[in-house]
């Protein structure tokens, strides 16, 4: 039988299947992930975006207020935070969004007006993401919004549970397919030699953003086993996604493979709620028979048949329209990414119109494997002579500090410093090549970055803001760090760039570092 014939039969069987339990598990999981995301961000929101934070929202609105067409910017950045700009609520509004998002997540978790609760969760989180660059620009933030949007239409807006729409479930499956398949495809399409020669995992565990203690042990695995693991990874990412659409047993097999893969990633590194969210997507792949047979340990309310209301004719049409919309946007998004469609004005206009709402996104992590681990190390001083290293809660600084397990929480400052280290490594290399020396002042390296990397300048200028927050002893910024021994008058702050590596078995520390380079010569604040 041809592949298309097999696919047709499998889809026919899919639309006859009963997925009420899988849908319930998926919706409960989405609510739980929303709760994790809101609470995690709430703990740091004031230090990141507050009036005395690293990237105050007020500065963003001040820049936009100087533009002539404010309405166009509101459409470009659809966010409830515009209300804060007009009402002048300050930090309170940030706390309201996170607090209300957390409360609504709990309501959705316990199935209280789940459709309405998930709708508001999506709106509140979108409001934070669209204005939260660079700290809210990660793929899993977009993945949560895309998954959360589909969850709204799967849950419905009736008090009682509705029978799940197979059309909406299909869009969930399509999302999971894109997430997994393109995660593998981009690795090969990048032509990065470490992926093609299967040596990427020899570097991955020590160069990933935030390793934990188990990452060190994964790094010690013999190279031959890590290369075999890379082959298995490519099978899971490039072959198994097609199983989603190829019959019940293969669909279940893909779900089990994906969840086992996510478990290994959780055990080997801190990737926030990303892997947990992927597991939640996988829960929708299993039908009622699977859950009742293999997961009888679940609470009764999950496994009982229950009384489900049938969707009305109008609601059924709406769900089909949503499915058609998502499929169309998927074709447009992926077409712009991989096909010569970028210059088509119609496609570009449609994409520009819907892109701010994160309804369909592109995915694919580690297309280019990082082969080094440059760490930005800050130092503070009261007199400019006696310096002490600034300690962080999660990112490596002290060589003997045990890497900590932090997921599903995401310390966004620590995460972003990993990206900054990679960026500044390129900056310093280019500066040294062009000038034959290291930068002599903060202003010199600052001007160099603006001239050479103007397009991405805004993504990294926050480092300067962070240093100013340290010098001014902003309580919200200081709370993002783990430093305790603050000088009475931290007049000075500077930064270095070190190359960090995991130690080997038998050594007394977790890390070793070398190649100390001047990054930011001392910045002072003598106020």
Confidence label for 30 from pLDDT (cuts 50, 70 and 90) = very high
> Which residues are within 8 A (CB) of 83 and not within 5 positions of it... i.e. 6 or more apart?
89, 93
Angle between helices 274-283 and 248-268 (to 10 degrees): 160
Question: What are the tens digits of pLDDT across the range 146-160?
Answer: 999 999 999 988 766
> Has residue 286 been placed in a domain?
yes
pLDDT at residue 300 in the model? 53
Average pLDDT over residues 388-414: 94
Other CB atoms within 10 Å distance of the CB of residue 374: 24
Rounded Cα gap, residues 124 and 116, in angstroms: 12
The answer on 53 and 89 residing in a single domain is yes
The answer on 353 and 312 residing in a single domain is yes
Question: What are the tens digits of pLDDT across the range 337-373?
Answer: 766 655 667 777 777 788 889 999 889 888 888 899 9
Rounded Cα gap, residues 28 and 30, in angstroms: 6
The last residue of a domain, from among 325, 357, 389: 357
The answer on 428 and 282 residing in a single domain is no
DSSP letter assigned to residue 134: T
- DSSP strands (E only) in 245-403: 374-381, 388-389
Evaluate if residue 115 carries a pLDDT over 70: yes
> Has residue 169 been placed in a domain?
yes
The last residue of a domain, from among 297, 323, 357: 357
The answer on 445 and 349 residing in a single domain is no
The answer on 316 and 461 residing in a single domain is no
Which tokens is 45 given? Answer: 């929101």
Give CA separation, 493 vs 331, 378, 392, 496, in Å.
49, 7, 15, 11
pTM above the 0.85 mark?
Answer: yes
Average pLDDT over residues 382-387: 88
Average pLDDT over residues 30-52: 95
pLDDT at residue 480 in the model? 94
> Has residue 23 been placed in a domain?
yes
Provide the CA 221 distance to its chain's centre, in angstroms: 27
Q: What is the CA radius of gyration of the chain?
A: 25
Evaluate if residue 12 carries a pLDDT over 80: no
- DSSP strands (E only) in 455-510: 492-502
Does residue 348 or residue 501 have the better pLDDT? 501
> Has residue 369 been placed in a domain?
no
pLDDT at residue 159 in the model? 62
For a pLDDT cut of 90, what percent of the chain falls above it?
Answer: 52
pLDDT at residue 305 in the model? 52
Beta bridge partners of 374: 499
The last residue of a domain, from among 357, 392, 421: 357
pLDDT at residue 36 in the model? 97
pLDDT at residue 2 in the model? 57
The answer on 141 and 94 residing in a single domain is yes
pLDDT at residue 293 in the model? 79
pLDDT at residue 286 in the model? 92
Average pLDDT over residues 496-513: 93
Average pLDDT over residues 400-417: 94
> Has residue 364 been placed in a domain?
no
DSSP letter assigned to residue 274: H
Give the 3-state secondary structure of 306-367.
CCCECCCHHHHHHHHHHHHHHHHHHHHHHHHHHCCCCCCHHHHHHHHHHHHHCCCCCCCCCC
Provide the CA 346 distance to its chain's centre, in angstroms: 30
Mean pLDDT of the chain: 87
Confidence label for 98 from pLDDT (cuts 50, 70 and 90) = very high
Rounded Cα gap, residues 206 and 295, in angstroms: 36
Give the 3-state secondary structure of 158-188.
CCCCECCCHHHHHHHHHHHHHHHHHHHHHHH
Evaluate if residue 304 carries a pLDDT over 70: no
Average pLDDT over residues 49-72: 79
Supply the range of the domain harboring residue 150.
3-357
Confidence label for 522 from pLDDT (cuts 50, 70 and 90) = confident
> Has residue 499 been placed in a domain?
yes
The answer on 381 and 280 residing in a single domain is no
Evaluate if residue 415 carries a pLDDT over 90: yes
Rounded Cα gap, residues 411 and 394, in angstroms: 7
Q: Tokens 């890497």 belong to which residue?
A: 403
Average pLDDT over residues 46-60: 89
Tell me the range of 57-71, 151-165, 299-313, 417-431 where mean pLDDT is highest.
417-431
The answer on 436 and 319 residing in a single domain is no
In degrees and rounded to multiples of 5, residue 11 shows phi and psi of -65, -35
Instruction: Domain count for the chain, please give it.
Output: 2
On whether the CB atoms of residues 279 and 29 are closer than 8 A, the answer is yes
> Has residue 278 been placed in a domain?
yes
Pairing of strands 388-389, 492-502: unpaired
């Amino acid at each position: 039988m041809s592949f298309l014939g097999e696919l047709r039969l499998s889809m026919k069987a899919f639309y006859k299947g009963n997925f009420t339990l899988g849908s319930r598990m998926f919706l409960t999981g989405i609510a739980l992930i929303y709760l994790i995301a809101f609470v995690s961000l709430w703990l740091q929101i004031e230090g990141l975006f507050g009036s005395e934070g690293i990237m105050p929202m007020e500065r963003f609105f001040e820049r936009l207020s100087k533009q002539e067409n404010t309405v166009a910017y509101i459409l470009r950045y659809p966010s409830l935070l515009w209300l804060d700009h007009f009402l002048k609520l300050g930090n309170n509004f940030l706390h309201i969004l996170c607090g209300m998002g957390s409360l609504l997540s709990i309501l959705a978790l316990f199935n209280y007006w789940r459709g309405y609760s998930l709708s508001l969760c999506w709106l509140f989180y979108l409001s934070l993401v669209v204005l939260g660059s660079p700290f809210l620009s990660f793929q899993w933030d977009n993945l949560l919004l895309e998954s959360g949007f589909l969850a709204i239409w799967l849950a419905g807006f009736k008090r009682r549970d509705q029978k799940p729409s197979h059309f909406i479930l299909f869009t969930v499956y399509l999302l999971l397919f894109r997430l997994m398949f393109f995660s593998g495809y981009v690795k090969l399409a990048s032509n990065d030699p470490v992926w093609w020669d299967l040596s990427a995992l020899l570097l991955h565990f020590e160069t990933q953003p935030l390793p934990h203690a188990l990452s060190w042990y994964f790094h010690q695995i013999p190279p031959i086993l890590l290369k075999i693991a890379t082959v298995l990874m490519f099978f899971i990412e490039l072959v198994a996604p097609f199983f989603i659409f190829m019959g019940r047993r293969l669909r279940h097999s893909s779900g089990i493979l994906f969840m086992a893969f996510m478990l290994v990633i959780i055990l080997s590194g801190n990737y926030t709620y990303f892997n947990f969210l992927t597991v939640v997507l996988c829960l929708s792949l299993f039908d009622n028979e699977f859950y009742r047979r293999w997961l009888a340990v679940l609470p009764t309310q999950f496994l009982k048949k229950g009384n489900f209301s049938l969707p009305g004719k109008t609601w059924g049409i709406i769900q089909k329209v949503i499915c058609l919309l998502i499929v169309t946007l998927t074709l447009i998004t992926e077409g712009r990414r991989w096909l010569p469609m970028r210059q088509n004005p119609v496609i570009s206009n449609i994409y520009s119109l819907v892109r701010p709402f994160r309804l369909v996104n592109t995915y694919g992590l580690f297309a280019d494997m990082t082969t080094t681990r440059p760490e930005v190390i800050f130092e503070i001083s009261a007199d400019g002579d006696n310096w002490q290293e600034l300690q962080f809660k999660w990112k490596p600084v002290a060589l003997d500090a045990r890497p900590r397990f932090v997921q599903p929480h995401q310390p966004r400052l620590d995460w972003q410093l990993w990206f900054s280290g990679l960026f500044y490594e390129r900056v310093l290399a280019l500066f040294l090549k062009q000038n034959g020396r290291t930068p002599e002042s903060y202003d010199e390296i600052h001007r160099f970055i603006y001239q050479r990397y103007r397009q991405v300048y805004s993504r990294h200028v926050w480092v300067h803001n962070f240093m100013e927050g340290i010098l001014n002893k902003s309580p919200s910024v200081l709370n993002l760090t783990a430093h305790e021994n603050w000088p009475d008058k931290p007049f000075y702050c500077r930064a270095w760039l070190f190359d960090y590596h995991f130690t080997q078995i038998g050594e007394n520390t977790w890390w070793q570092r070398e190649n100390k380079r001047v990054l930011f010569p001392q910045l002072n604040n003598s106020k």
